Structure 1
Amino acid sequence: MLRIKKNEFVWVTQVTDSKVYLEDSFGKKISDDIETFEQEWSGIALAIEDIVDAGEPSYKEKYDKGLRKKIFEYTFMSSYMILLFALVYFSWMNDTAISILYKLILLFVNMTGCYIAYTLIKQEKFQINRLAQRFCKVGKHVDCFQVTRSNYSKFFGWLSWAELGIAYFSAVTLWVAIAPISSHWISPLWWLLLLPLPFTLWSLYTQAFLIRKWCLFCCTIVFILWLNALTRSKLDFD
């Protein structure tokens, strides 16, 4: 059975003479005494009943569509990784060992940024994975969902910061993969790595003072952007 508490559905797992045991959408188990439960319960409940023809309409078609989407995503990611490593191999052949090390760091952190931004995009569309469930709602002050679905998460009201993030990290990743260590290639990359730093201050400000909730994924992206800027100074020229 489900009930609504503060606009949230939770499972009622057990009821005793004095306690009601609940489990929220993140798997967190909580309990209330009967009086508190009755005061907070909205009076709305959902019950699951096994009847003939029960089930989601057009389930098979939707399942097949979802399966095709997953196959496309995995195929795209595999092709992207193969292309990326091919570019790295042919573009870095004449680089020094220390330059390769710093470029590998940039590649790793920006690919991580891509993944986190992708996770935030799925979260905005209510496609929550296990990673989001574990880190997006911790205690009273950490709530990624409230941050990413706020009005401050949109650029000019229509493009989310997560979408901009995945575009930015993808661009940096490809640039690092194809760029030899020379002033002709690295100078634009320097500015690209510095460009989002004002956004990091805005992100921290909105989380701390406007939304008053923290998003661990967003803070990780802020950390990656600053790590990019610090790594930038370590790139050498021929």
Structure 2
Amino acid sequence: MDNALHTFIKILQLLKVKYTKVYATDIILSQSDYPNLLAISESLSHYKIDSAAVKVENDSLDKLPLPCVVQVMVKEDERAPAILFFHTIEKVTDKDVTYYNYLNKKKTATKKQFIERWTGIALLVEKNENSQEPNIIEKLKKRRVEQVLKAILLVCLLMILVRNTAISEISLPVLLFFILNILGLVISYELVRYEISVYKPKLQHFCKGGKKLNCEAVLYSKQAQLLGSSLSLSTIAFSYFLAGFLLQVFSFKTNTFLLLGNISILSLIVIIYSIYTQAVILKKWCRFCLMLLGVMLLEIVVAYWGGFYGNIDQTLSQFLIFIGVAIYSLLSFMFLKPFLEQRKMLPLYKRTLNRFKDNPNTFKALLQDSEKIQNEPTGLGICLKNKNPKYKIIKVCNPYCGPCAKAHPILENLYKKGVIDLQILFTVHPQESYTQTAPVSHLLALAEKGDEDIIHKSLNDWYSMKKKDYSLFAKQYALNGEMKLQRHMIKAMSDWCILQGISHTPTIYIDGHELPEQYSIDDLTNILS
């Protein structure tokens, strides 16, 4: 199931298109055709990457523009039937083909071997100067800020740790115990992540390995849950290792390790209980759990070797800190768990909803039930026509409307693809101020000249201006009195809007029916394409 996702992301990487994994994953998993080739093609369109599916002769492999996606027949077992998968070709030479297989691993095969498995179907892709993820600059800035904050936190912890270790005696058992604590913290964190994540393919792949290995069966069993489902053993383990780690960072002293050594003995209860549960009751094993149990057992061994067991009368303050951190992290997780579980389901619900919405039959049914245009606005506004459009769209907008500006490139892209005819109407009343009417009169006058390139360029320039400056726009597209002739058109559009009851902008009509409220303009790229 991950083959189409891996292929899509690999194409973005090979094309050197900026992307974020979260958005890319969400986009392709939301496609109603996932995991088919069409889903990859539609997902690429969100990045303004052109694509075309072709069927060619097998001897044409070296003529394909690279990188590209191809469909191949793969037999995982000689006795099993062949299965169709996608491979991403990176390089083709006279003898070899370098590609990424269905497991997303880079491989090289002879051209003859590869052609024998290839079905002749390929998805050709081409990027342009505008090919990138929507709002990628803002996303990358946010990511950099997060990385800087994490780095600052890490540096602060390291500085505190270095200071404390500089004034303490460090022995090999102490160092090993500290390393084991970090390892336990990382593993328990991954366990908690696994519990609250719906789609973590790497973690899920790690947990697979036969009939006896099943992390979910162990982690979600009633034996692994306490207080109903509010608390789990993995959460307790994470709190235990987190408390130990912070205690060592802020107090790298003999008393600290004496305390942690004595507490580590208590983990024997968890080790015995977990092994008994997996071996006898569930008869299933969890790799993460076994790794964690191994770390706990090694901690006990190292603590015994280092002589950490003994009188803990002198470690009351450290003990209180340990208990405080552990309880705080447990209570925090118990409070946050319902929100985290809801959050993990949101992408799944969103993808399910998008697949439902992208279904053409669903869209057509809802469109037919939506409000119908009472009077056709024939001859009004700016009309852009294609030769064989599938749909006619009427966009009612305001020149200073932010959502109207965001809608324009989406509709412009659909028009350029030949999918729609586009008619643009404005809600401005002729009695409104010059600031409101001037841009509309100017755009209408430019459209009246009949130069389609100028029409598109002027609309793009106006709507792409972050701060609308009509004087600057007027200098760029100079006119000689033609604007005065547009007063009657502005009044006709205003009268039509009043008659139709237009209450907000942008209002979108598709084939005479208003865009259903269940859909946004962003959805049109997938639905109408």
TM over 0.5: yes
- Work out which of the residue numbers 168, 179, 183 in structure 2 matches 1:108: 179
Structure 2 partner of 1:140:
211
Report Cα offsets for 1:32-59 as digits up to 9, x if no partner.
xxxxxxxxxxxxxxxxxxxxxxxxxxxx
**Residue pairs, 1:62-77, within 5 angstroms:** 72=146, 74=147, 77=150
Structure 2 partner of 1:122:
193
Distance 1:235 1:84 in 2: 25
Give the alignment's TM-score, normalised by structure 1.
0.64
Structure 1 partner of 2:274:
203
Residue identity (%): 24
TM-fit CA distance, 1:104: 2.5
Asked if 1:83 corresponds to 2:156, the answer is: yes
Structure 1 partner of 2:83:
21
**Residue pairs, 1:54-69, within 5 angstroms:** none
Structure 1 partner of 2:261:
190
Structure 2 partner of 1:225:
296
After TM superposition, which residue ranges in structure 1, 4 or more long, deviate above 4 angstroms?
Answer: 11-16, 67-72, 74-77
SS of residue paired to 2:284: coil
Distance 2:226 2:145 in 1: 31
SS of residue paired to 2:166: coil
- 199 and 91 in structure 1: CA distance in 2 versus 1, 3 angstrom threshold: same
Structure 2 partner of 1:160:
232
Report Cα offsets for 1:199-218 as digits up to 9, x if no partner.
11111111111111101110
Q: What letter matches 1:174 in structure 2?
A: L
- 95 and 120 in structure 1: CA distance in 2 versus 1, 3 angstrom threshold: same
| Cα contact 1:87–1:178 (8 A) shared by 2 | yes
Structure 2 partner of 1:31:
none
Q: What letter matches 2:193 in structure 1?
A: K
TM-fit CA distance, 1:76: 6.0
- 136 and 163 in structure 1: CA distance in 2 versus 1, 3 angstrom threshold: same
TM-fit CA distance, 1:180: 3.9
| Cα contact 2:177–2:302 (8 A) shared by 1 | yes
Structure 2 partner of 1:215:
286
- 155 and 134 in structure 1: CA distance in 2 versus 1, 3 angstrom threshold: same
Distance 2:211 2:187 in 1: 22
Structure 1 partner of 2:241:
169
SS of residue paired to 1:145: helix
TM-fit CA distance, 1:78: 3.2
Higher relative CO (Cα under 8 Å, sequence separation at least 6) belongs to: 1
Distance 2:156 2:250 in 1: 11
- 227 and 22 in structure 1: CA distance in 2 versus 1, 3 angstrom threshold: farther
SS of residue paired to 2:83: strand
Q: What letter matches 2:81 in structure 1?
A: K
- 160 and 76 in structure 1: CA distance in 2 versus 1, 3 angstrom threshold: farther
Report Cα offsets for 1:53-88 as digits up to 9, x if no partner.
xxxxxxx89xx99x969964x556534432331222
Give the alignment's TM-score, normalised by structure 2.
0.31
SS of residue paired to 1:114: helix
- 70 and 88 in structure 1: CA distance in 2 versus 1, 3 angstrom threshold: same
Report Cα offsets for 1:174-198 as digits up to 9, x if no partner.
2222334334x33322222222220
SS of residue paired to 1:141: coil
| Cα contact 1:175–1:189 (8 A) shared by 2 | no
Q: What letter matches 2:168 in structure 1?
A: D
Q: What letter matches 2:223 in structure 1?
A: Y
For structure 1, the residue ranges without an aligned partner over 5 or more in a row are 3-10, 28-59
C-alpha RMSD of the superposition: 3.7
Q: What letter matches 2:164 in structure 1?
A: S
Report Cα offsets for 1:82-139 as digits up to 9, x if no partner.
2331222111113334x2x333322222222222112122221324142x23420101
| Cα contact 1:110–1:169 (8 A) shared by 2 | yes
Distance 1:83 1:196 in 2: 30
TM-fit CA distance, 1:225: 0.5
| Cα contact 2:174–2:257 (8 A) shared by 1 | no
Say which is worse superposed, 212-221 or 190-199, in terms of deviation: 190-199
Distance 1:225 1:91 in 2: 25
Structure 1 partner of 2:165:
92
Q: What letter matches 2:289 in structure 1?
A: C
Q: What letter matches 2:233 in structure 1?
A: W
Distance 2:162 2:301 in 1: 24
Q: Could you say which structure has the larger radius of gyration?
A: 2
